[in-house]
Amino acid sequence: MNSTTKYKKWIKGTCKSEGVDVDEEEAGGGCGGHVFILRGKGQAVEAVMHKWRTEKVDVNKKGEPCKERMAVFEEIDV
């Protein structure tokens, strides 16, 4: 995540447009990462996840728009 502001704005906007609630927490262990918790109907969450992998959501070190390739996703049924 090179542009934290842009990245978070994209996530919140995409979740809102798909009717998915999103919460953010800092990852433990001092790694400086973030955890985004998505809650919503299955198809809506799947749509957000698909967009997360296929749309340009961040910028690379040169400042060019890029797709998310480093995120790790975990699905939990509650």
Number of folded domains in the chain?
1
Residue 76 falls within a domain, yes or no? no
Distance CA 65, CA 15 (A): 20
pLDDT digits (tens, 9 = 90+) for 3-45: 788 888 999 999 999 999 999 887 766 666 788 889 999 899 9
Closest CA to 15 of 56, 45, 57, 50: 45
pLDDT band for 59, please (50, 70, 90 cuts): confident
pLDDT digits (tens, 9 = 90+) for 67-76: 887 787 877 7
Range of the domain at 23: 4-67
DSSP 55: S
Q: pTM for this one?
A: 0.80
Residue 74 falls within a domain, yes or no? no
